[in-house]
Amino acid sequence: MAAKKVLLALTSYNGDFYEDGAKTGVFVVEAMHPFNLFTEKGFEVDFVSETGKYGWDEHSLIPDFLSGKDKEDFDNENSSFHKALKNVKAAKDVKASDYDIFFASAGHGTLFDYPKAKELQGLAEDIYANGGVVAAVCHGPAIFDGLKDKKTGKPLIEGKAITGFTDIGEVVLNVDKIMKDKGLLSVEDIAKKYGAKYLAPIGPWDDFSITDGKLVTGVNPASAHSTAQRAIDALN
């Protein structure tokens, strides 16, 4: 029997964002933890971004977020994670019918490009319409801004329960004003915009993820592993 396949989405935005001049982009563990779990469970994983390019969120490389085994894995250029990243695909070159799970990784970069990433959104819509799972962690739910349920024509998250990075977390990270100045919607804003029920964790850094049918969401870097596990459970 052919292995089940996961399409793991990355932001292609890699530009200045933070007050200290650091760039945002893909938040390392929010791509690496899901990749490691999916491959461990026997899934084939392909990376995709809207343009076929990506770059790292520089804050996700600091010891607060990348240390121990994660840092060892990340520093190993011969790891299966890095090998897969060398073959990141552009969304226009991917067939949705090849995949069972669409997983949107995150980093604040997603707030810039996911809402406009029509090819990526089309892949997520098709995978969901085919009975697959759509999952997103942290800022990954930015992909839901404009995403439709092809069977109903309504917003995919309308009337559904979702989570994602909290507005309180944006304040703690001191980026709430930057987001406002750049006209970027938070995950809570997107939930309100499309009539989804936003569920918050007790604390912004808790491991917290939820499932609503074939829709799975998680709140932060600490939730990347549990969100991927829920995606597998939802598929099964």
- Active-site positions? 138-139, 170
Choose among 236, 188, 189: nearest CA to 211: 236
Choose among 32, 10, 26: nearest CA to 60: 26
Contact 198, 188 (CB under 8 A): yes
Long-range contacts of 184-189 (CB under 8 A, 24+ apart): 184/108, 184/111, 184/112, 185/111, 185/115, 185/142, 185/145, 186/111, 187/139, 187/141, 187/142, 187/162, 187/163, 188/164
User: φ, ψ for residue 90 (rounded to 5)?
Assistant: -80, 140
